[in-house]
Amino acid sequence: MKYTRNVLAALFTSFALASCAGEQKADDGWTDLFNGKDLSGWKAVAGTATFDVVDGTIEGVAVAGSPNTFLITEETYGDFILELDLKIEHLSSNSGVMARGQFDPAARDGQGLVYGYQIEADPSERAWSGGVYDEARRGWLYPLDLNPEAKSAFKMGEFNHYRIEAVGNEIKTWINGQEVAYVVDDMDKTGFIGLQVHSIQNPEDAGRKTTFKNVRIQTENLEPKAFNKDVFVVNNSLNTLTTYEKSKGWKLLFNGQNADGWKGAYKETFPESGWSVKDGILTIAATDGRESANAGDIVTKEQFSAFDLAFEFKLSEGANSGVKYFVTLSEGNKGSAIGLEYQILDDEKHPDAKMGREGNRTLASLYDLIKADKNGRFIKPIGEWNKGRVVVTPDNKVAHYLNGVKVVEYERGSQEYRDLVAISKYEKWENFGEAEKGHILLQDHGDEVSFRNIKIKQLN
């Protein structure tokens, strides 16, 4: 009888301890990461902001002079679906949720550094909440210029419901039921969940609060939700498309194995030298820096009218190239074929950046016509991959993007556009850039430049 009482006591103690722990699994497959009473299962790292339990919520309080502070789970997770509610009450209180977060305790002279995937909570006018940021590493993976309709999802001063799916190499986010971001990336396969209190610029913002509640996770028998809207996917896999992308009409223009679908400009075949395909990368070799005087430009065999074109490019030092569109090959000119051009350039070391007018020959600009309005923090250094994108809608509205941020907007055929053409190097070409359809062109400017992940979707 005594033995039985001891066993029962042990069982009771185990049950009681489990009930007080941070994780509590429900019958529906969800596990509560926050028990509403204390911060069991969590720890604060990397800063001095405070986290307290107040009325069944986690309240993070900003502290002057502190770097970003994170309340992170002691457990790590691989594939999961995470849901929580988050409230911000002041513009200074940028926040976020780490998904598969990483921590280096030795970094910053032992203060520690949190890095990895962060799902943004952005109360500013920029409104990138739900976007994916690679904290303390690569920067923005999914800024909300890629899904502007989702900028209205986050509500200031209210609890916002976040859903984050990290399944395999896909990360998808929702805010208040609205589809926000879709990233394919395999940098981190496991990590912790983290809640952020951001550093503050002004000491008077000390004491501002960010509040979290209803933090729960699923890790087994996952049933990911499909995106229903046509949302742009940032796909960092090499020359591949997701099932979702294919269902929305995307196709690869470069298969990563050969030059199928491409030919030399003004030629019937692909150049025999100069251009190469190796390890899934398409590269034009360096020669003498002259425009289309060696291997020459290459163009798609197919022509396009309204489209969404995405590509990645890597510049060598001092290099010049470009992606042209609405290339008709009808002008018969010498040098590079004529077309609207997304400029690809080392702005620091190539002289073309200082030519033209007011910077309209710099990186991501509409070459010789419109300067790209870009921030240096969104430009990857020479030797690293940058993401370009050109969107042409059926109403002739055109936009250039650099690393997910819109940097150029114009309308083909508008009076404003024609006025710019009239004072440009293109003024001698009748109806320049206004063709109904044309080829996509990659330029040989005599410098080494590489391309990958070239994909296109035709827009009706």
For residue 320, pLDDT over 60 is answered with yes
Beta pairing class for 80-88 and 209-218? antiparallel
Task: Compute how many other C-beta atoms are within 10 angstroms of the C-beta atom of residue 411.
Answer: 13
d(CA 57, CA 262): 58
For residue 268, pLDDT over 50 is answered with yes
Assigned CATH for 24-218: 2.60.120.560
With contact defined as beta carbons under 8 Å apart, do 313 and 386 qualify? yes
Total residues found in the chain within this entry: 460
pLDDT, one tens digit per residue, over 371-424 is: 999 999 999 999 999 999 999 999 999 999 999 999 999 999 999 999 999 999
Q: What angle do CA 252, 317, 259 make, to 5 degrees?
A: 25
Task: Compute how many other C-beta atoms are within 10 angstroms of the C-beta atom of residue 375.
Answer: 10
pLDDT, one tens digit per residue, over 344-364 is: 999 999 999 999 999 999 999
Task: Compute how many other C-beta atoms are within 10 angstroms of the C-beta atom of residue 358.
Answer: 9
Residue with tokens 């904290």: 135
Token digits of residue 317: 């030092």
DSSP 3-state of 385: strand
With contact defined as beta carbons under 8 Å apart, do 247 and 318 qualify? no
Task: Compute how many other C-beta atoms are within 10 angstroms of the C-beta atom of residue 428.
Answer: 10
Assigned CATH for 239-458: 2.60.120.560
pLDDT number for residue 25: 65
For residue 366, pLDDT over 70 is answered with yes
- Max distance between CA atoms of the chain, in angstroms, equals 103
**Of 275, 325, 271, which Cα lies nearest the Cα of 448?**
275
For CA atoms 124, 129, 134, 140, the dihedral sign is: negative
Residues of the chain with CATH 2.60.120.560: 24-218, 239-458
Task: Compute how many other C-beta atoms are within 10 angstroms of the C-beta atom of residue 229.
Answer: 10
On average, the pLDDT of the chain sits at 93
Q: Which 3-state string (H, E, C) describes 398-413?
A: EEEEECCEEEEEEECC
pLDDT number for residue 30: 96
pLDDT, one tens digit per residue, over 136-189 is: 999 999 999 999 999 999 999 999 999 999 999 999 999 999 999 999 999 999
Kindly write down the DSSP assignment for every residue of 47-80, as one continuous string.
Answer: S--EEEEETTEEEEE--TT---EEEEESS-BSSE
